[in-house]
Amino acid sequence: MLVSYRFERSRRKSIGFLVGADGLVVRSPNWVPLREVDAAVQEKGAWIVAKLQQLRERQTEQFQKAIEWEHGAEIPFLGRMVQLCVLERGVGRVLGQDVPPDQILPVTVPPGATVTQIRDAAQVWLKNQAKPLFEQRLHHFAPLLGVSWKKLSLSSASTRWGSARTDGHIRLNWRLIHLPISQIDYVVVHELAHLREMNHSPRFWETVGEVMPDYEQRRKALRQAPLDLPQD
């Protein structure tokens, strides 16, 4: 896993590591050479990754809990809010008929459905919207990058937005559907670029920049999203 961090010199007596809302911060005494700092980060790698994953899971859980999965709830969808409208099976009417169709997230549930059932039904709807949209964006950008992808799978990973394999298998986190299309496109381009460069070298970022010159701004916006997960 590629982990970025902020490095600070301080008057402390030893190298310190802090994992918080802004990611990893490494602090070192002024007299410690950079090679020793790097070695310490590598040695502490498993602990750092575990702490970062715990942080991301808590953030994602807080985001999900922030949504009240009941009729009338506002759900983020493609960077805007849509209204959750619940139809009880057999009742024959949808609540919230005054809301324009493009601003509704419709779900059908059994009478007396629990919050969990409503949430699960809403997430099925979101996933059904996500896959064809992601495929469309992959089809759009792949020729621009001169690559060919073979398969798309939706992911529920808690530590990354997407991944790519050398065999052309792309995995994208379905929760991207909550975010604006500009951020979705960034992740799509990021993963497709890995089909040319399976690393994060300067050549990789040059590849991303070929079709998305403003990728740094999109990357920053993605990192500031409520679903703050690493994109790769």
Looking at the structure, tell me whether residues 136 and 207 fall in a common domain: yes
Single-letter amino acid, residue 122 = A
| pLDDT given at position 228 | 45
| Residue 177 predicted with pLDDT over 50 | yes
Asked if residue 90 is part of any domain, the answer here is yes
Radius of gyration of the CA atoms of the chain, in A:
21
Residue 39: pLDDT band by 50, 70, 90 thresholds?
Answer: very high
Q: Which range among 6-10, 28-32, 100-104, 219-223 shows the weakest confidence by mean pLDDT?
A: 100-104
| Residue 232 predicted with pLDDT over 50 | no
Q: Which range among 95-99, 118-122, 135-139 shows the weakest confidence by mean pLDDT?
A: 95-99
Looking at the structure, tell me whether residues 54 and 103 fall in a common domain: no
Asked if residue 231 is part of any domain, the answer here is no
CA distances from 177 to 38, 100, 127, 144, 185 (A): 37, 20, 8, 23, 11
Looking at the structure, tell me whether residues 118 and 160 fall in a common domain: yes
Q: How many domains does the chain have?
A: 2
Looking at the structure, tell me whether residues 126 and 45 fall in a common domain: no
- How many Å apart are CA 113 and CA 94, to the nearest integer? 15
Q: Which range among 54-63, 73-82, 140-149, 158-167 shows the weakest confidence by mean pLDDT?
A: 54-63
Q: Which range among 6-20, 42-56, 85-99, 216-230 shows the weakest confidence by mean pLDDT?
A: 85-99
Looking at the structure, tell me whether residues 32 and 60 fall in a common domain: yes
Looking at the structure, tell me whether residues 56 and 106 fall in a common domain: no
End-of-domain residue from the set 66, 89, 113: 66
What are the tens digits of pLDDT across the range 183-210? Answer: 999 999 999 999 999 988 999 999 999 9
| pLDDT given at position 230 | 39
- How many Å apart are CA 161 and CA 28, to the nearest integer? 31
Mean pLDDT of the region 5-11: 85
Looking at the structure, tell me whether residues 54 and 169 fall in a common domain: no
Looking at the structure, tell me whether residues 101 and 194 fall in a common domain: yes
Asked if residue 229 is part of any domain, the answer here is no
Residue 98: pLDDT band by 50, 70, 90 thresholds?
Answer: low
End-of-domain residue from the set 45, 66, 87: 66
- Own/partner contacts of 6-11, CB < 8 Å, gap of 24 or more, are 7/37
Structural domain boundaries enclosing 54:
5-66
Looking at the structure, tell me whether residues 138 and 54 fall in a common domain: no
Other beta carbons less than 10 A from residue 81's beta carbon: 12
Looking at the structure, tell me whether residues 216 and 108 fall in a common domain: yes
Asked if residue 230 is part of any domain, the answer here is no
Asked if residue 58 is part of any domain, the answer here is yes
Mean pLDDT of the region 142-160: 91
Looking at the structure, tell me whether residues 127 and 213 fall in a common domain: yes
Q: Which range among 36-45, 133-142, 219-228 shows the weakest confidence by mean pLDDT?
A: 219-228
| Residue 2 predicted with pLDDT over 90 | no
Looking at the structure, tell me whether residues 23 and 81 fall in a common domain: no
According to DSSP, residue 163 is labeled E
What are the tens digits of pLDDT across the range 157-172? Answer: 776 899 999 999 999 9
Mean pLDDT of the region 2-7: 80
Asked if residue 228 is part of any domain, the answer here is no
Provide the CATH number for the domain around residue 151.
Answer: 3.30.2010.10
Phi, psi dihedral angles at 3 (to 5 degrees): -125, 120
CA distances from 185 to 75, 177, 193, 219, 228 (A): 21, 11, 12, 10, 16
End-of-domain residue from the set 19, 42, 66: 66
Asked if residue 146 is part of any domain, the answer here is yes
Angle between helices 215-223 and 181-193 (to 10 degrees): 110
- How many Å apart are CA 199 and CA 86, to the nearest integer? 45
